[in-house]
Amino acid sequence: MKIAIVDYDIGNVKSILSAFENQGADVSLTNNKEEILKSDGLVLPGVGAFSHGMKSLESCGLVEVIKEYVISDRPFMGICLGMQMLFEGSEEFGKTTGLGLISGKVVKLPTKDDQNEKLPHVSWNELNRKNIQWTGTILEDVKEGSDMYFVHSFVAQPKDNDNILSTTEYSGHNFCSSVKKGNIYGCQFHPEKSGKIGLKIIRNFIRMCQK
């Protein structure tokens, strides 16, 4: 069983690699097309600006590779910007087209002006369940209300509510904090930075890749 983490020269991939290794996965950091397509599980990390992330994926020639992998219905997990890029597009620094694997768009996190809430949302914050049961997903055995680490200013808005795996409240609004469409998963939070519960989510994903 082999898990690939997409290496496209962006952000902190070392800690994702460490977290998967810590949970006993055979994992590699790669931008090699064959290696990605051969893997039993694929992780798309990412921090920072949407447009920069998409440009980096394009210049590494990985956009089509990721789409091809996802069509094969093997487990896939996008983290933070990696989740946002699954959607059709973003309004960060002008409009940018995303991978379009899940319907919906990426928008600035709504805040209430009068509440003096801040952006970026940098905080530990709680996961709440929406429509989908968590059993059999990456959130299996994670307690509702568990704190995960968030650091972002933008959020994904899936068109279909049934794609929303969890929501999180910030500044009086509930935003989509994780997403599921078949075997495609996305986490707005950082499981690799969310202590022991984050590691459990990674373990759940690894188990999925073993099936």
Active site residue 192: yes
Residue 75: cis peptide before it, omega within 30 degrees of 0: no
Residue 114 touching other proteins (CB under 8 A): no
Q: Cα separation of 187 and 96, whole Å? A: 20
In whole angstroms, give the CA distance from residue 179 to residue 167: 9
At closest approach, how far in Å is the CB of 170 from other proteins? 8
Stretch that binds other proteins, among 66-74, 120-128, 136-144, 172-180 (CB under 8 A): 120-128
- Min dist CB 131 to other proteins, Å, is 26
Of these residues, 80, 176, 187, 209, which one is catalytic? 80
Q: What is the C-alpha separation between 136 and 119, in angstroms, rounded?
A: 33
Give the shortest CB-104-to-other proteins separation in angstroms: 21
Interaction of residue 28 with other proteins, rule CB under 8 A: no
CB closer to other proteins, 95 vs 124: 124
According to DSSP, the β-strands at 154-158 and 121-126 are unpaired
Which of 68, 101, 59 lies closest to 82 in space, CA to CA? 101
Candidate ranges 69-77, 100-108, 149-157, 159-167; the one touching other proteins (CB under 8 A): 149-157
Among 38, 67, 112, 118, binds other proteins (CB under 8 A): 118
- Which stretch in 64-72, 101-109, 177-185, 188-196 sits in contact with other proteins by CB under 8 A? 188-196
Dihedral pair phi/psi, residue 61, rounded to 5°: 65, 35
H/E run at residue 145? none
Our finding on whether 107 is near other proteins (CB under 8 A) is no
In the chain, alpha helices (H): 14-22, 33-38, 50-59, 63-71, 81-84, 195-210
Q: Does 49 bind other proteins (CB under 8 A)?
A: yes
Quick check: is 60 catalytic?
A: no
Q: Which of 114, 121, 105 is nearest to 169 (CA)?
A: 121
Contact residues toward other proteins (CB under 8 A) are 11-15, 18-19, 21-22, 47-49, 52, 81, 93, 116, 118-120, 122-125, 147, 149, 151-153, 190, 192-196, 198-199
Q: Which residues are catalytic?
A: 80, 190, 192
